[in-house]
Structure 1
Amino acid sequence: MDSMASAPGKAILFGEHAVVYDKPAIALAINKRATITIKESHKDYTSIKSDNIGLEAIISPETGLKLKKGEIGILNYILKALEFYHDSKPIKIKLEIEIPIGAGLGSSAAVTVATIAALDKYHKRKTTLPSIAKRAHKVELEVQGAASPLDTSISTHGGLIYLNEEKKIDQIKGDLKDSLVIGYTQSEDTAKMVKLVKERMERHPTIINHIMDAIAHTTKKAKKALETNDKECLGELMNINQGLLDAIGVNTRSLSDMIYTSREAGALGSKITGAGGGGSIIAYSPNRTRKIIETLKRKGYNAMKADPSKKGVIIEH
């Protein structure tokens, strides 16, 4: 039985890195998706292919994994999902992805969620959104070593969400239409950046713990600003959150340049979104998105409008 599922990427508005230490975070699904199509294979091996990113691999019972083209990166998430949730029968998997890889925009979570949902449909398993999110988080933990449930939750459920200290997810209201720009470069590996922050925490526990607490307070106040549509406050809080991310060592020269370029072009607030070390920034700029995109592109950066997506994972019927 053929199956298809897609899931959106994400942008973290507040709380990245702190969320790993059980602090709250705010994230939204964006209108860029990863789509997994699964078909029965008439060969004696499983094939995985993506024309978008130049990826081709086969998994044979005799020789194991053979990477014919591309990099292992995102493939690790598909492989781990297959290990956990597939019975090893040969299948053909096609990945189509609109989300930039390695830019901190949830590409691995989207691919993981879409793969699990497509496998559930292929195997005719009854499934629920909480189950997909939980299993996708398990895959990310296995691949990355440390991961919060935020990315997989937002990719599964869609919308704008607040993840509290108890890891409970609430959909929240906020008018972010025509207000967000993402600028991006290639990033460091998420696991590497999480490890960097963990090591800094071990060297300076009191200082870093205070910074994480400050990020948490910023996130909680940002939730209220979103719910009351206080644009000026929201932008200011983004800039405060960025200063705290600077302090834990995840900024880079290129990210900083994109952040200040966006502010100078009219953004009310701008900050890293995701793990940092490269990757992406998000600029909050109600009704000024075009100018900021053009300004970032003139400086040689990739930039795109990030419209919120109310839809999370979609399983095609």
Structure 2
Amino acid sequence: MITAKAPGKLYIAGEYAVVEPGYPAIVVAVDQFVTVSINRAQKHGTINSKQYEEVPIVWQRQGHQLVIDNRDNPFEYILSSIKYTEQLALEKKRALCLFDLRVNSQLDSPDGKKFGLGSSAAVTVATVTALAKFYQLNLSKEEIFKLAAISHFMVQNNGSFGDIAASVYGGWIAYQSPDREWLLKMLQEKNLTQVLKMTWPKLKIESLNCPANLKLLIGWSGNPASTPLLVDEISHAHVNKQQSYQDFLTASKQCLQKMVHGFKIGSTQLITQQIKKNRALLQKLAQFSGVLIETPKLAQLCEIAQKHNVAAKSSGAGGGDCGIALADNNTSQQNDLLADWQQNDIIPLNFNVYFSKS
């Protein structure tokens, strides 16, 4: 049996701007995992997952036609990962064979609701990693990232791949997304082996050290959200409010550059200042786009944190899912904040930052 696991992620800052090539974000891996196991099979292969048996189907109407949106369906990412990893295996002259693939996920609540930890990215990374071992492809971390990004891109073409970077590299990451139009062009013109070896324009992945006196706290709103649909809504606002959107991008880049500098010099003050600034920028984005990013429950999460003198904001696309707070290593302050969240039906998630072992 071949087994591979990939951690979930949380965005710390830079959401929405990061989908534009070259605009930075900070993302962190958390110690909750998707595990993929592969066994050689004989007459037919299978794909099994206890958690994904009852994934809701999202659909829209285009005119009189019902169109299913599979971008929140984990099986779509698994199938895409198999397709592209096997394409690479063929390029490397490996013989394809049947297998049973089993998925086990910790990235959902006990009743099956998503926490918003990047399950689609983690299942993509875990599947690519397991299959690369199965076919003995000897891929580097950079190649696993690129192959997983391509597999993910072919299902959800509006993502940044930042969650994939967190799942591959672990820890705290400063991230900038590549030029997706260039990537699509290269995939049409070259084989996978060539595309994986190329330098991807604007892509940047850099590990950061978090100051020792800064603690990541995570609160779950209890309401799952669909990242692809929210990013779609923001992209419509981009077309209609071009100047406002450009101003948001410029301000987000300046904020994230300062925050990354704060990590590099170990300044908790600079980091937490920019967390507050990034929250304000997302609130402006929500205002001019008409997209609900900070739900009432996420706003309450942030306001409770502020009451305890802790910087907080929504994490990722918002619309539900999680919020994060960055607190000093003051155990009493942290305990009071977490208790306050709990009293207001915000569920503290006792997850830690996950650092890759190799």
**TM-score, normalised with respect to structure 2:** 0.76
Q: Deviations over 1:106-132 (max 9, x none)?
A: 221111101100011111222111111
Could you give the per-residue CA deviations for residues 66-95 of structure 1, whole angstroms, max 9, x where no partner exists? xxxxx9722221122122224874422222
The corresponding residue for 1:94 is: 102
Deviation at 1:31? 1.6
Q: What corresponds to 1:136 in structure 2?
A: 148
Deviation at 1:43, TM superposition (A): 4.7
Relative to structure 2, which stretch is displaced further, 285-294 or 241-250? 285-294
Seen in structure 2, the aligned counterparts of structure 1 residues 5 and 242 have a Cα distance that, compared at 3 Å, is same
Note closer, same or farther for the CA distance 1:176–1:110 as it changes in structure 2 (3 Å cut).
Answer: farther
Calculate percent identity across the aligned residue pairs.
24
**What secondary structure sits across from 1:271 in the alignment?**
strand
2:6 corresponds in structure 1 to 7
Q: Secondary structure at the match of 2:163?
A: helix
What residue number does 2:224 align with?
A: 187
Contact 2:85 2:147 in 1 (8 A): no
Deviation at 1:267, TM superposition (A): 4.9
How many residue pairs match? The answer is 296
Partner of 2:85: 85
Paired residues of 1:273 and 1:281 also in contact (CA < 8 A): yes
Query: Aligned pair 1:118/2:130, yes or no?
Result: yes
1:173 aligns with 2:209: yes
Matched residue type, 2:106: E
Q: Does 1:255 align with 2:298?
A: yes
Q: Does residue 282 of structure 1 match 2:318? A: no
Larger displacement relative to structure 2 (148-157 or 88-97): 88-97
The answer to whether the 8 A contact 2:141-2:169 is kept is yes
2:336 corresponds to 1:299: no
Q: Which residue of the partner structure matches residue 223 of structure 1?
A: 260
1:290 and 1:174 map into 2 onto residues whose CA distance is 21
Q: CA deviation at 1:269?
A: 0.8
- CA–CA distance in 2 between the matches of 1:298 and 1:289? 14
**2:240 aligned residue:** 203
Q: Secondary structure at the match of 1:285?
A: strand
Distance 1:213 1:28, change over 3 A: same
* Cα shift readout 1:282-317 (whole Å, capped 9, x = no counterpart): 1111234333322222222222134222217x7xxx
Question: Whole-Å Cα distance in 2 between the matches of residues 102 and 164 of structure 1?
Answer: 25
- Using a 3 Å threshold, how does the CA distance of structure 1 residues 78 and 267 change in structure 2: closer, same or farther? farther
Q: Which whole-Å CA distance do the structure 2 matches of 1:298 and 1:176 have between them?
A: 29
Aligned partners of 2:236 and 2:176: how far apart in 1? 24
Unaligned stretches of 5+ in structure 2?
A: 56-70, 88-95, 178-201, 287-292
SS in 2 for 1:311: coil
Change (3 A) 1:92 1:145: same
Q: How many Å separate the matches in 2 of 1:140 and 1:24?
A: 20
- 2:72/2:226 contact within 8 Å kept: no
TM-score (norm 1): 0.86
Q: Which amino acid aligns with 1:30?
A: V
Q: Determine the C-alpha separation between the residues in 2 that align with 1:245 and 1:203.
A: 17
Shift of 1:45: 3.7
- In the TM superposition, what whole-angstrom CA distance separates every residue of 1:148-170 from its partner, at most 9, and x where no partner exists? 12111121011212124722111
Whether 1:74 and 2:116 are equivalent positions in the alignment is: no
Q: Deviations over 1:171-220 (max 9, x none)?
A: 12222576111112333211111111111111110011101111111111
